[in-house]
Amino acid sequence: MPNTCRSMMMMLLMMLTLFSDPVAAAADQLSKLQYLKNSLFRRELLSGSAPHFSRLNGVGPVYDVRTYGADPTGRNDSTEAILNALSDAFNKRSSNGTLITDVYDLGGAQVYLAGGTYTISRPLRFPAPGAGNVQIHGGTIRASDAFPAKGYLIDLTPPHGAPKGVAYSYEFITLRNLLLDVNYRGGGISITNSLRTSIDNCYVTHFTTEGIISRGGHETSIHNSFLGQHITGGGDPKERDFSGTAITLAGNDNIVTDVVVFSAATGVFISGQANILTGVHFYNKATALGGTGIYVKLPGRTLTRIVNCYMDYTGIVAEDPVQLLIANSLFIGDAYVLLKSVNGVIDGVNIVDNQFSGSNQQNGIVQLDESKTPFNKVGSVLVDRNVARTIKIKSTVAKGLAQGNGTSWTVDFNPILLFPNRIDHVQYSVRVDDTALFPVHALRNTTGNIVVVESNVTVSASVYVSVAQ
């Protein structure tokens, strides 16, 4: 609190100075801002929970791959040179400080690509595990035709597997400002059993397996990046043939944010828990052509959040979803959510506050695939507050009205309710047109999502019904 007060007072002072003499004060303001920033930074470092950091990430020793003989024109093979730079970054550590147990702090060492394009014929596999706080950045890496099929350009997998008893192989590895061209040989980045890996401003293309795969470990953060098997701006005549997966999250607690997936059969495949996708735009392969934006394959233990995403002609598939949130997202081009029954379990699912638009009134915004087995263990499922234009709205709560002169009023909720023949809760009220009449009425039937209310005398009435599944 005192720090915040002081900062605010300084800001105020700076603003006052600025107003009194704009030109001179502007420079002054800059230096004060710098001072303020530095002082805030220092405080953060002093009070931080990572006392072993001797330097900030980004200002550590620089290993320029060109000095190791790498060819920035891409003509000669640079595999050996880059691996040597990587090896030095890992081995010439300046302190014995550690990050998490058994992971040495490399002090922000940088393997620097200096804006070059480098051809490699083998994966850039990380050296022995147990190191962190290092980054590879600033250039293009391209697989040659000799690159082994199914390899990954950058592979954070220890050469001889993880040593016994060591929980994590690498920590705080940053891959930044990279163009990774897999040349249809395999994948872009593979991360195994690592902690806090950051992929920032990377463009991964021409993969056949995965653009990025993260297995085991946790907290891989993929942000501000672009992934596509083919370089296209959409409407590609070969879209039907797109294959591969842009991102596979086979671990927990990963973050994908502000990413565009522009071609691949599957955009993001999730088989780990507590992952979050936010601000991701998918136009990888239209559902109508067999593509999937997001495939969540953790039947019975989904625990996944998809928020503020843009599903552009390609939708979401979730198997036996248990604890799944899909919110504040935009679906266009008939993209929809498919809930697929594997063992009939669905619970803790919220699909709310999304926008859908399409061209096919037969298509529902949320659909069930019960071809294997029906959903028969249905817990709390809320599909509500979505808006749909020229695509059929589906919901788990609904309201209806029946009007007429008679003894029976029927509201058929099948067009809107998601689950067939399932009404858990009904509320209704009867408004009789002739206020002199006061009939007895009752809810008589809800079978097959059709609500029937009857009265004991003929009356002209409106019956308002709301239901929940």
Ligand X SMILES: *[C@@H]1O[C@H](CO)[C@@H](O)[C@H](O)[C@H]1NC(C)=O
Residues that bind ligand X (CB under 6 A): 71, 73, 76, 94-96, 405, 433, 440, 444-445, 447-448, 456-458, 460
Q: Which is nearer to ligand X, 201 or 408 (CB)?
A: 408
Is residue 106 a contact partner of residue 93, using CB atoms and an 8 Å limit?
yes
| Shortest separation between residue 406's beta carbon and ligand X, angstroms | 7
In the structure, how many helices (H) and strands (E) does the chain have? 3, 32
Q: Which is nearer to ligand X, 117 or 367 (CB)?
A: 117
Is residue 225 a contact partner of residue 262, using CB atoms and an 8 Å limit?
no
| Shortest separation between residue 286's beta carbon and ligand X, angstroms | 39
| Shortest separation between residue 293's beta carbon and ligand X, angstroms | 39
3-state secondary structure of 216: strand
Closest CA to 284 of 181, 340, 205: 205
Q: Which is nearer to ligand X, 21 or 433 (CB)?
A: 433
Q: Which is nearer to ligand X, 379 or 448 (CB)?
A: 448
| Shortest separation between residue 178's beta carbon and ligand X, angstroms | 20
| Shortest separation between residue 55's beta carbon and ligand X, angstroms | 13
Q: Which is nearer to ligand X, 91 or 429 (CB)?
A: 91
Q: Which is nearer to ligand X, 93 or 394 (CB)?
A: 93
CA distance 113 to 457: 85
Q: Any residues with CB less than 8 A from the CB of 16 and at least 6 apart, and which?
A: none
Q: Which is nearer to ligand X, 152 or 413 (CB)?
A: 413
CB neighbours of residue 190 within 10 Å? 23
Q: Which is nearer to ligand X, 38 or 460 (CB)?
A: 460
Q: Which is nearer to ligand X, 102 or 347 (CB)?
A: 102
| Shortest separation between residue 65's beta carbon and ligand X, angstroms | 11
CA distance 57 to 64: 16
Q: Which is nearer to ligand X, 34 or 94 (CB)?
A: 94
The beta strands (E) that lie in 88-130 are given as: 104-112, 117-120, 124-125
| Shortest separation between residue 86's beta carbon and ligand X, angstroms | 18
Please, what is the Cα angle at 252 between 249 and 253, to 5 degrees? 105
CB neighbours of residue 238 within 10 Å? 10
Q: Which is nearer to ligand X, 159 or 448 (CB)?
A: 448
3-state secondary structure of 368: strand
Please, what is the Cα angle at 223 between 166 and 227, to 5 degrees? 100
Phi, psi (rounded to 5 degrees) for 297: -115, 75
Sign of CA dihedral 77, 79, 85, 88: negative
| Shortest separation between residue 85's beta carbon and ligand X, angstroms | 14
The beta strands (E) that lie in 253-380 are given as: 255-263, 266-270, 275-282, 292-296, 304-307, 310-312, 316-319, 322-327, 330-332, 337-340, 345-352, 355-357, 366-369, 377-378
| Shortest separation between residue 460's beta carbon and ligand X, angstroms | 4
| Shortest separation between residue 450's beta carbon and ligand X, angstroms | 7
Q: What is the identity of the amino acid at 119?
A: T
Sign of CA dihedral 241, 244, 247, 250: positive
**DSSP states along 141-171:** EEE-TTSPTT-EEEEES-TT-PPTT-S-SEE
| Shortest separation between residue 457's beta carbon and ligand X, angstroms | 5
3-state secondary structure of 91: helix
